[in-house]
Amino acid sequence: MSLDWIAAELAAWDNAGLRRARRVTRPLAAGMIEVNGRPLLNLAANDYLCLAGDARLAAAAREAIAEAGIGSRASALVSGRTVWHAELERRLAAFEHAEAAVLFPTGYAANVGTITALVDREDSVFCDRLNHASLIDGCRLSGARWHVIPHLDLGALEVELEKARGRRRRLIVIDSVFSMDGDVADLPALVELAERFDAMLLIDEAHATGVLGPGGRGLAEHFGATSSRLVRVGTLSKALGCLGGFVVGSQTLIDWLWNKARPQIFSTALPPAVAAAGCAALEVVEQEPERRSRLRTLSETLRARLTDAGLAVPETSLPTPIVPVVLGDEGRTLAAAARLEQAGFLVAAIRPPTVPAGSSRLRISLHCDVTDEQLDRLAGLLAAFASPQAAT
């Protein structure tokens, strides 16, 4: 078969407003970004603590480059795990109050590799319907019997766990903070279900690491969850401003992943400079709690303003930096994002298949450098042209 069918499919996506376009950007200081020569406030990234451009991370990376060069030259298993990687794994374990940690090239690889290392066709895996694509793909690739759970429906999860009592192993998989709604999982209730049904529980702390908890250790720290059944996945590429994924837990768990997780075994290790910058990022998170305090205040304020304006903002039990405004229609969402860009704000327009049909949205990703004046102007603009009253 030829590849001619692709052009027709792309044309159909164009007609439905679903085709993605690439553009080149340039990061600027203070959470700004240059797009097509125009400076915009970047509310479409995941650099929640504004560490990606931090001079301390850059200095740590330069020191590692001067000594080790750019690439790591091999997979971690063969010869790519340098002293910088070992130090970052040690620092991550200490930061997360865990016995050990293992690095992955990306957070996506960490989720896929960990799930497929823990369960296979003899087992059952339970996946929230709104989990990140990396968790969903890990469940699919594992070959385990896959139970899709309605979003945060603990009753439905309990029913499915009861049905799977005869399976060899059971694994519950869930985001701690959901990337498109900004809401959080009920971790204490999930731990209780895991204990009662003799299941493992994997939580992806990608959007919570550095942001939630008194020390920035995520939702597990916020709730004080310490179950031996818990598998904690995180990423360096969001609030920590770097690149890569990681898993923390018992030494036994980490040894198993080191020997079993294929994306870790068969991928070239992270550049040493990235590992060095990751260590510097952890220091900032520990020493400057005011960054996440500011983020929490911004989230609470914006959510209140948008809700008062009648906008559809999904509820959450904890303020997170992800604040979605659900508009429903793809065209309306794209138009709203374009108007925001004209006004100086870069906000992501999220459409199917990333979110379910009929739930297209503006996804506002806050960062700690947003000023009160910028937040006030953003809320005013959204109330002016994205509220139900403005659409009529």
List 132, 147, 222, 238, catalytic entry: 238
- At residue 95, the 3 state secondary structure works out as helix
Residue 226 near residue 138, CB atoms below 8 Å: no
Please say if 260 is a catalytic residue. no
State the catalytic residue, choosing from 142, 179, 237, 365. Answer: 179
The dihedrals phi and psi of 349, each to the nearest 5 degrees, come to: -95, 110
Q: Residue 76 phi/psi, 5° resolution?
A: -60, -35
Angle ∠(35,40,41) on CA atoms, nearest 5: 135
Dihedral of the alpha carbons of 338, 339, 341, 344, in degrees to the nearest 10: 180
Question: Could you please report the per-residue DSSP string of 176-200?
Answer: SB-TTT--B--HHHHHHHHHHTT-E
Residues 6+ apart with CB under 8 A from 341: 35, 40, 347
174 DSSP β-pair partners: 203
CA-to-CA distance for 57 and 276, rounded, in angstroms? 8
The residue annotated as part of the active site, out of 85, 132, 147, 207, is 207
Asked if 309 and 387 count as a contact pair (C-beta separation under 8 A), the reply is yes
Q: Is 132 a catalytic residue?
A: no
Q: Three-state DSSP class for 305?
A: helix
In this structure, which amino acid lies at residue 87?
E
What single-letter DSSP state applies at residue 204? Answer: E
Q: Is 238 an annotated catalytic residue?
A: yes
- Count, residues in the chain: 392
Contact call for residues 246 and 102 (beta carbons, < 8 A): yes
Residue 245: partners with Cβ closer than 8 Å, 6 or more residues away: 103, 104, 105, 106, 107, 108, 109, 110, 111, 206, 233, 234, 235, 236, 237
User: What is the Cβ-side half-sphere exposure of residue 21, based on CA atoms within 13 angstroms?
Assistant: 7
CA–CA distance, 88 with 235 (Å, rounded to integer): 12
d(CA 365, CA 324): 8
CA angle, residues 384, 385, 389, in degrees to nearest 5: 80
Distance CA 305, CA 379 (A): 6
Active site residues: 179, 207, 238
